[in-house]
Amino acid sequence: MIVNEQVALDHGLKKDEYAKICNLLKRTPNITELGIFSAMWNEHCSYKSSRLHLKKLPTKGKKVIQGPGENAGVIDIEDNDAIVFKIESHNHPSFIEPYQGAATGVGGIMRDVFTMGARPIANLNSIHFGSPQHKKTKNLLRGVVHGIGGYGNCMGVPTIAGQTSFDSSYNGNILVNAMTLGLVKKDKIFYSKAAGLNKPVIYVGSKTGRDGIHGASMASASFDDKIEEKKPTVQVGDPFTEKLLLEACLELMSGDSIIAIQDMGAAGLTSSSIEMASKGSLGVEINLNKVPCRESMMTPYEIMLSESQERMLIILENGKEEQAKKIFDKWNLDFAIIGKTTKSKKIELYFNQEKVADIPVNTLVENSPMYDRKWKKAKLPKKNNIKKQDIKHFKVIEVLKKILANPNVCCKEWIWQQYDHTVMGDTIQKPGGDAGVVRVHGTDKAVAATVDSSAVYCWAHPLTGGKQVVCESFRNLISVGAKPIAITNCLNFGSPENEENMGEFVECVHGIGEASEYLNFPVVSGNVSFYNQTKNLGIKPTPAIGGVGLIKDYKKMITMEFKEIDNLVLVIGKTEGHLDQSLFARNILDEKNGPPPEVNLFNEKNNGETLLKLIDNNLIKSAHDVSLGGIITAVAKMCIKGKKGILIKKPKYLINETEYLFAEDQGRYITEINKKDFKKVADILNKNAVHFDELGTIQENELYINDKTKVTIDELTTSNKNWLKNYMSK
């Protein structure tokens, strides 16, 4: 095939990028080489619009073993144990083919983790759908949930937590972000940096087919009316093969034969071979006739760009090939020596005794485009003038029931009941709480993980929203008694070529960086997903933050349900009455304007660390952070989970009852303590300059507000638990 500028444009390259390729090669590329450039230089693989800004994120810390740049981040959890974790997007494939798109997203993120030597111990997900009224939403939700469950359950890895939201901005582009945690010994971590000359390059796993070709390029493009035609670019997953691949790789890793190992993810054999060579400043020579293929007459172009799942690339020590082959034969997986490392610093491909590609590795990696795109700074919106007389007529209980039934607040049991969250036997806090928690097998330690996003706040003011979502992750970990260690991020945005969208990205990243730095909560891995839009309509900016923390003694773990009648309930953190961008303002008043709540990083850190001191002193019986829906919504959820009521006495603040109960001020927690411990708790809070309110007392099965308004917990439970179940059954 003759390659020209139009063929390059059809591959998603820009005119100037094609000219740069010709200049770097000092010739016109052939079709295989063009395919390789299009894969390596697309947004999904090269981060060409985001690299400049991602470099500013804080990535180092006392507990950080490996930051961004590897398959996943790695943190130290003491006793020679480490946690490997990352979050990745599979948005475009999941919109086109929800089951396989979501399933292969889960499979891909698990491979990123076990390719570093870690056994996956937990999965999480952050999934976002269009308006519930949109004709596609229900089927997309059903397909995605079945795909996540189908793959994770078959792999025998528990799904311990997640987040699901609905917003009309996702009508034409849903988001499916998958996160995995793995456990590894610190002295058995594997990396993807090639080393040594004439070392065998080994292909293992499934055979290569034509599924997923151009998958990475498709992930770097906007949707249009012809979206259905892109179905062939969606990969097809096989969790049973991945389970075999996991066990075979871990068995091989128990020895000393692996120099480097890399998952074949986006752009398949292309990205895996080139990334390994680039990191090791080496060349790689591959004979494509030796690549195991499941379809006949596959071309070099197809073999290099296939995104068939469940495949790995390994560089072995010389002389270890036969021993390694026996392991993969035992697990009934393909094992093929397809090439070797060289000193050429090139990727050299051979097919039918002919050289079909000859590209210097640095032209694909170091010389890939990096853009400083134009962006617009967002102004902080003016506050709405919500007058007291406009809100005092609302009946608190009726508003509370509406908020508990809101699609973004309602119980998501219909979703997580389809996931196996107890397999492996170490899950000690299941979905439905502030964070999922798994015990480190055979020890007293436990790892807590959560995934959060806040598109509404980020849309209203990206800088503040970016800070808030990191703080939300921090609070969720603290609420279960975990010390936050590090985060991974999945940054979902519209087109970087649009100045407003690019501005949202830049300022969200700035906010994430500022909060991460202040909270000592570094970013160790992540993913950027641009072009989340149909035609010219982009999604709301949706950075998803996956947080991980350590509980040194799992018996000190905290859950959110109220425990005992007559215990006191406190609000830690001050309530100023911020209603703008709250659920109350948006869904009850139908007021979509205004700024998100302010984020005070000093208070976030101080309030959280003080709560951990209280937990460490065994003074906290239950805890839950205050987020969507304010104090009353947080309290109602604690009542529902604990099947207990509460008598609320609103503090005599200047703000009125509605503002106090529904405001979404940040940095706050609802905590339950024993009455006899009140003085000790108050002393610690006062000593650390933490504001707190006495909110009320736990009682039998009714929620009372100031003795005059009441509702049974059964009524609240019905409001909270029925919406999603009814929606999916229609």
Q: Specify whether 421 is catalytic.
A: no
Distance of CA 480 to the CA centre of its chain: 19
Largest CA distance in the chain: 87
CA distances in angstroms from 575 to 265, 483, 625, 661, 693, listed in the order given? 46, 24, 13, 9, 9
Q: How many angstroms separate the CA atoms of 486 and 546, rounded?
A: 9
Residues 6+ apart with CB under 8 A from 335: 202, 203, 204, 324, 325, 328, 329
Matching residue, tokens 């998603």: 12
Asked if 716 contacts 644 with a C-beta cutoff of 8 angstroms, the reply is: no
Q: How many angstroms separate the CA atoms of 351 and 298, rounded?
A: 11
Single out the catalytic residue among 11, 44, 421, 624.
Answer: 44
> Quick one: which of 167, 43, 176, 1 has its CA closest to 102?
176
Single out the catalytic residue among 11, 53, 90, 461.
Answer: 90
Q: How many angstroms separate the CA atoms of 306 and 211, rounded?
A: 6
Q: How many angstroms separate the CA atoms of 460 and 595, rounded?
A: 6
Asked if 46 contacts 54 with a C-beta cutoff of 8 angstroms, the reply is: no
User: What torsion, rounded to 10 degrees, do the Cα atoms 581, 583, 586, 591 define?
Assistant: -60
Q: How many angstroms separate the CA atoms of 85 and 486, rounded?
A: 10
Crossing angle, helix 396-404 and helix 713-729, to 10 degrees?
40
Reduced to 3 states, what is the DSSP secondary structure of residue 236? coil
Q: Specify whether 90 is catalytic.
A: yes
548 secondary structure, DSSP code: E
Q: Are strands 258-263 and 311-316 parallel, antiparallel or unpaired?
A: antiparallel
Residue 385, burial from CB neighbour count under 10 angstroms (0-12, 13-18, 19+): exposed
Distance of CA 434 to the CA centre of its chain: 16
Share in percent of the chain as helix, strand, coil (round to 5): 40, 25, 40
Structure tokens at 272: 């895996």
Q: Letter for the amino acid at 545?
A: I
Structure tokens at 442: 């055979």
Q: How many angstroms separate the CA atoms of 6 and 65, rounded?
A: 45
Asked if 65 contacts 518 with a C-beta cutoff of 8 angstroms, the reply is: no
Asked if 169 contacts 300 with a C-beta cutoff of 8 angstroms, the reply is: no
Asked if 557 contacts 428 with a C-beta cutoff of 8 angstroms, the reply is: yes
φ, ψ (nearest 5 deg) of residue 178: -115, 140
Residues assigned a catalytic role: 44, 90
